[in-house]
Chains A and B, each alone.
Chain A
Amino acid sequence: MNSELIEVEVVNKSTEAEGIVSFELASTAGEVLPAFTPGAHIDLVLPNGLIRQYSLYEHNDQPHSYKIAVLRELQSRGGSEYVHQNLNVGTTLQISAPRNHFELVPAKRYLLLAGGIGVTPIMCMAGQLAAQHADFTMHYCCRSRERMAFHDKLSAAPFANQVQLHIDEESSQPAFDAASVFANVDKDTHLFVCGPKGFMDFVINSAKAAGWDDSNIHFEYFSGVEMTPDDADSFQIKLASCGKLLTVKDDQTVLQVLQDNGVDVPVSCEQGVCGTCVTKIIDGEPEHRDLFLTQAERDSNSVFTPCCSRAKSPLLVLDL
């Protein structure tokens, strides 16, 4: 991943809605950035070491900048909070080239559905489809107008009459009537949906219940509900007994690295449930990803589970 990193600078930062800030990132070398297709995301390698993924919301065949929008998550694991506070115009950081796991497919008609911050890839798709004069409708659901990013932009867009807004607070009925939207089952229409997990589960289940075929339903979970290697960083561990320094790559667990180096740690469940592998930490700050430790133990940062937990600090010194 590192070989493809691009250095960019924040050239614009603006508030789009309550809790949502957009950033425009341009190459510090002044070069055109790699092209992408709607639905693509980039990794931000934050100066604090975290890596986070954000979708690109505006399409351009020859991008001189990338535009992302970031919701400050209430239960931020350190990414969105950091981005909001510390990325300002002039900040430089590294990003990956765009990757797309949420590509548009050729279809006669498109139904685009966005929930909350899930609007970013969906709006990008809408822009592209409008440019191609494709047949599409976009639905955008949000709790309140204050939290609705890009409301004005969408209202003023050339495709504004193809966009329907659904605002919970302004409706006594459920703002988004899934049953009627999905009533016309049609194998030539493809559904693209992005948003919070609860929203997506609801939309996908509603579509399926209405008889939509799985192959016509396309989705991307916006915030990583599953922990994927994409969400992990490389860091180092040091064994206190011998001073040995080992690197844990982004696709490895601490446990694998220990075992590969002949360090025997008892293990059972391999997923942070049983506590068999709990290991003392002498220095450094772990990123707890287990379910075993109590809140008090978690807060003390004196132990962690090497089977699944990682590091917030660049180095963890382990009592091994």
Chain B
Amino acid sequence: MKDTSRKFLTNTWYAAALSTDVTDSLFKRRLLDTPVVIYRRNDGSPVALHDRCPHRFAPLSMGKKKDDCVVCPYHGLAFNGEGKCTHNPHGGGHIPAKAEVKSYPLMEKYGFIWIWMGDKPADPGMLPDYSQLDNGHPNALAHTYMKRPCNYELITDNVMDLSHIDHLHGEIITTRGQLSPQVPNVKDENNQVAVRWEWEQTPPMMIFNDFLDKPGEPAAHFVEVTWSHPTHIQLTVGATQDGSAMDYDNTVSQYDLHTCTPETEYSTHYFFATRRNHNVEDAEFNKIKIEGMHGAFEDEDGPILDAVQDQMETNDFLALDPVLISSDAGPVRVRRILKSMIEQESA
């Protein structure tokens, strides 16, 4: 196995797949520069193994699932969910103690399968509480996924710095120029970084306008973005016209989770979930909304980030001596904390 510990934080949870990605078959994905095969035992519980037979290094994901085991396509060695070889069809069937693949702790929560790839014991309490995603009507929740050919930290930067939305994005989420002039309030505590903006705009953000009491009239808006290691970003955005508390429960709002998992240093699995508190039963609207959000990233953020990665020709953003501006406060704080955590882990 490659030593990825210097490149990525490993003793932490990453999203490995959407829950709906892993069904009856073997699901393969490269995570933190390591090939992984994920499947479900007969009881439905997910397992993840290093996708490489310890014998001749064939990808187990090319094999077959048999009961709770995966059978190597090359010579038929079988491995269970803990990575132990359970069957050797050769010779007398002796199973060497070393016939074992690494098994990764998994946790299934909030519509994702989360993986722990570090050497320390997995700590289920380390994943922040995103149970807001679970609360509410099923038609007010959606997930999506895409892969991007850029370093994962560029995506984190992009979500932590929302000042780009009036420049890069179209009519649907414009703040009418209200966001960029503000120097956001940045807080860090316990290795989390939170950035918050508040502003007034007329008309309200188009994603909320039709659900407010007085469409087209001035509304107070807020967005709060909280990063937790390694790549989880929870974003709540909302609008109100009646002076109520500026939070998810008291405004017309949505609660999003962005989380990225490096495939390699230069490619990233980008996962996204969104829960809204308005028009909650409308399945058709739910579908249009998640397609719209997916599209905005695919067509607007994605191409810029891919091109930025090409221009950079490295993943060491700060080493290129960027000219930073006020909107970079959040991203810079996140990069510093993550870097120091990676250094501590590999020390």
Residues in chain A within 8 A of chain B (CB atoms): 168, 174, 178-179, 198, 201-202, 205-206, 208-209, 268-269, 271, 273-275, 291-292, 294-295
Contact = CB atoms under 8 A, between A and B. Distances in A.
A169 to B, nearest CB: 12
A168 B242 CA distance: 11
28 contacts: A174-B243, A178-B218, A198-B198, A198-B200, A202-B200, A202-B218, A205-B201, A205-B218, A206-B218, A269-B325, A273-B324, A273-B325, A273-B326, A273-B329, A274-B322, A274-B332, A275-B332, A275-B336, A291-B183, A291-B329, A291-B332, A291-B333, A292-B329, A292-B332, A292-B336, A294-B336, A294-B337, A295-B189
Given A273-B329, A274-B332, A294-B337, A201 B243 contact: no
Contacts of A198: 198, 200, 220
Nearest to A274: B324
Nearest to A207: B218
Q: Which of B189, B200, B217, B220 gathers most chain A CB within 10 Å? A: B200
Contacts of B187: 295
Interface of B: 183, 186-189, 198-202, 217-218, 220, 242-243, 321-326, 328-329, 332-333, 336-337
- Give the 7 A-B residue pairs with the shortest CB-CB distance, closest first: A291-B329, A274-B324, A269-B324, A205-B200, A273-B324, A201-B200, A209-B202
A292 to B, nearest CB: 6
Given A208-B202, A291-B329, A295-B188, 12 more contacts: A198-B200, A198-B220, A201-B200, A202-B200, A202-B220, A205-B201, A209-B217, A271-B325, A273-B329, A275-B332, A291-B333, A294-B333
A295 B194 CA distance: 12
B171 to A, nearest CB: 18
A205 B221 CA distance: 13
A196 to B, nearest CB: 11
A206 B218 CA distance: 6
Contacts of B188: 294-295
Contacts of B325: 269, 271, 273
Contacts of A273: 324-326, 328-329, 332
Contacts of B243: 168, 174
Q: Which of A178, A202, A294, A295 gathers most chain B CB within 10 Å? A: A294
A20 to B, nearest CB: 21
A43 B186 CA distance: 29
Nearest to B243: A174
A208 B243 CA distance: 18
Nearest to A173: B242
Nearest to B186: A291
Contacts of A178: 218
B198 A268 contact: no
Q: Which of A174, A202, A205, A292 gathers most chain B CB within 10 Å? A: A205
A291 B329 CA distance: 5
A295 B193 CA distance: 10
A257 B24 CA distance: 68
